[in-house]
Amino acid sequence: MTDHPSEKTGWGNPLLTWHKVWFNTQSGTNSLPSNLPMIALDTPMDALLDSTHGKPRLLVVDDQPINIQVMHQVFAGDYQVFMATSGAQALSFCINNPPDLVLLDVVMPGMDGFEVCAQLKAHEATANIPVIFVTAHTDAAQETHGLSLGAVDFIAKPVNPAVVRARVKTHLTLKFQSDLLRKLVFMDGLTGVYNRRYFDQQLSVEWARAARSKLPLSIIMLDVDFFKRFNDRYGHQAGDDCLRQIALTLKSCLKRPADLVARYGGEEFACILPDTRFDDAMVLATNMERRVREQEIAHENSGVAPVVTVSIGLATLAGDCDGDALALVGLADTQLYNAKQSGRGRVCGAILQGSATRKMPVHDGE
Ligand code: GH3
Ligand code: MG
Ligand code: MG
């Protein structure tokens, strides 16, 4: 936003120094734990897991700078306050830099607040940002219309600072609670990577995308070798630590934002690699096998190596295919089985192509 009112009017930088975690500055029963991450609603899972504390971000949208100034005075102490003076500016800000909540004027020249709200709710990346209308026109029909568009609240101008602060706090609390739940629903509690539920959901999304775009899609299935023996020899606690370490290593092998690693179950992990050709996925899988080996976690009863190793099955969808996502997972599973059968600590892969499945050479991890 080039014409940021706070910069023009000399109100100072809205990105004020963060004195305390916001929730701890609030009294009352709605307070959330201070370790609650501040999360943008369209944040991918990796970013959710890495979120750190920050001041909640409010976007105030109003064509009258005096109204923005009032809101700035009400909120600047506890929030990062951003400003937009038109609907178009507000939309562009929300898409590029999603705030935690929007305070939205209804009557504005050009795109009015109702239209802005409708557009925010229509886009996946912005649909979950709570919108509070702030307006001088508070008849029941307008309020009903605003709420039907997905706004969470309606506040009358001129605003009462205590009331608007309390309402914003309530809606932010709800927003952060649902962010946290969303995070927990898709997270594996032991390793901190995605869980099976998220993997299944994303796989069908990526399968549909690959089918539409005719781009390749690769899946990796990975299983720790002789992990039962590892637990028996070193104990379950060490087993859990080992799984955590493997999860971290696998995550660090992925470079593209769309790639993901999930705990598929027990000591199995799975990766989705959108738009990744077989050869590139094979390089990645081979790298994963090597990197886990290089962790040098002692496993003296393995029989494969004196350290923990993994077996990997890779399957790539290339071009049109009559099957479904399960066929791709099934093929990766078969390849994992082949890797186990042919000695463990290695990668096997195949391409799913129409009704023909082409097997690729085994890549021994040694
Ligand atoms: P293979 O090389 O054929 O995969 O042999 P394996 O011993 O790894 O396979 P098996 O399926 O016989 O045993 C898997 C073991 O993984 C048994 C189970 O106790 C262990 N395991 C599964 N989930 C966890 C977990 O969350 N923590 C720990 N510590 N162990 C787990
Ligand atoms: Mg195993
Ligand atoms: Mg297993």
pLDDT for 358 = 62
Residue 195 has pLDDT above 90, yes or no: yes
For 69-100, give the DSSP string. Answer: HHHHHHHTTTSEEEEESSHHHHHHHHHHS--S
Residue 151 has pLDDT above 60, yes or no: yes
Residue with the smallest CA separation from ligand 1 atom 13 is 228
For 164-189, write each residue's pLDDT tens digit.
999 999 999 999 998 888 888 999 99
Q: Tell me the CA–centroid distance for residue 257 and ligand 3, in Å.
A: 27
Is there a contact between 272 and 314 (Cβ–Cβ < 8 Å)? no
Q: Which of 311, 347, 351, 312 is nearest to 331 (CA)?
A: 351
- Residues marked active site are found at 267
Cβ-Cβ contacts under 8 Å for 239 (sequence gap 6 or more): 227, 230, 231, 267
Q: Classify residue 256 by its DSSP letter.
A: S
Is there a contact between 108 and 137 (Cβ–Cβ < 8 Å)? no
Residue with the smallest CA separation from ligand 1 atom 11 is 228
pLDDT for 15 = 27
Is there a contact between 309 and 327 (Cβ–Cβ < 8 Å)? no
Banded model confidence at residue 35, pLDDT cuts 50, 70, 90: very low
**Predicted structure pTM score:** 0.70
19 Cβ below 6 A of ligand 1: no
pLDDT, mean of residues 48-75:
82
What is residue 43's three-state secondary structure? coil
Structure tokens at 71: 């809101």
pLDDT, mean of residues 85-96:
95
pLDDT for 28 = 28
233 Cβ below 6 A of ligand 1: no
pLDDT, mean of residues 201-220:
93
Strands (E), 46-152: 57-61, 80-84, 101-105, 131-135
Q: How far apart are CA 82 and CA 225, in angstroms?
A: 52
pLDDT for 1 = 34
Banded model confidence at residue 113, pLDDT cuts 50, 70, 90: very high
pLDDT for 29 = 25
Q: Tell me the CA–centroid distance for residue 266 and ligand 3, in Å.
A: 6
Q: Which of 23, 62, 21, 20 is nearest to 175 (CA)?
A: 23
Report the residue among 231, 241, 310 best suited for mutation to probe ligand 1: largest number of ligand atoms under 8 A from its CB: 231
Which atom of ligand 1 sits closest to the CA of residue 229? Answer: 7
For 240-291, write each residue's pLDDT tens digit.
999 999 999 999 999 899 999 999 999 999 999 999 999 999 999 999 999 9
pLDDT for 355 = 57
228 Cβ below 6 A of ligand 1: yes
Q: Tell me the CA–centroid distance for residue 302 and ligand 1, in Å.
A: 12
pLDDT for 278 = 96
First and final C-alpha spacing in the chain: 54
Mean pLDDT (the chain) is 84
Banded model confidence at residue 353, pLDDT cuts 50, 70, 90: confident
pLDDT for 21 = 23
Residue 348 has pLDDT above 60, yes or no: yes
pLDDT for 103 = 97
